[in-house]
A = this chain, B = another copy of it.
Amino acid sequence: MPTVSSEELAAAAGVNSAKLRKDFSYLGSYGTRGVGYDVEYLVYQISRELGLTQDWPVVIVGIGNLGAALANYGGFASRGFRVAALIDADPAMAGKPVAGMPVQHTDELEKIISDNGVSIGVIATPAGAAQQVCDRLVAAGVTSILNFAPTVLTVPDGVDVRKVDLSIELQILAFHEQRKAGEESSADSADDAEGTAPPAAAKPHRKGPDGDVPAVMPA
């Protein structure tokens, strides 16, 4: 029986072994003292707890560049997701195959969701259409939404929304990049150091240090 110790697993994942053991204990996954965890059993338990053993039908609404990329993304199928339908508002798209699947018109949205028992929807529409699409998805029975549109969606209680903003990750990188570059010349007259002038009426009394380290950005 192939096994792994929490120590090996922790080293491979770059985390603390005690934390890993504690997390496993929350999941109810018991190992064997003196031996470790049965690999096969552990994989099965984690997969099941995470919902990977289930088949989740999802619909993707908005088949532009991003929608098509998602439809073609191989990582979904292996994680238990099945793209049940591709939906777009453009009548010219209807019937056109994307990722080996015909695009369907928004008119069919409610029927598709109910026929396939879809509870997870992906929104890849322009920002303007997102809330409207969201409302229709929720009304049709979807209770989890992954939103790629740059808008904050309003949903009733009981519906989960996760927002993915592609530019936020870039911003975080740029933030660190800026910090790297600015490291040699600190403690300068920080206000107009960056080329762009501050607003005219601004800067009422500015007292604080400017070169300190904000603690508000993810590492």
Q: Residues on A close to B: CB < 8 A? A: 1, 23, 25-30, 32, 38, 40-41, 44, 48-54, 56, 58, 64-66, 68-73, 75-76, 79-81, 119-120, 122, 143-146, 150, 158, 160, 162, 164-167, 169-178, 180, 194-196, 198-199, 201-210, 212-216
Contact = CB atoms under 8 A, between A and B. Distances in A.
B174 A80 contact: yes
Contacts of A76: 167, 170
A6 B206 CA distance: 18
A211 to B, nearest CB: 9
Contacts of A174: 50-51, 54, 56, 80-81, 120, 144
Contacts of A195: 53-54
B69 A64 contact: yes
A79 B167 CA distance: 8
Nearest to A47: B196
B170 A202 contact: no
A177 B120 contact: yes
A86 to B, nearest CB: 13
Given A68-B69, A69-B65, A214-B26, A173 B120 contact: yes
Residue of A27, A29, A68, A214 with most chain B CB atoms under a 10 A cut-off: A214
B146 A160 contact: no
Contacts of A194: 48, 53-54
A28 B169 CA distance: 24
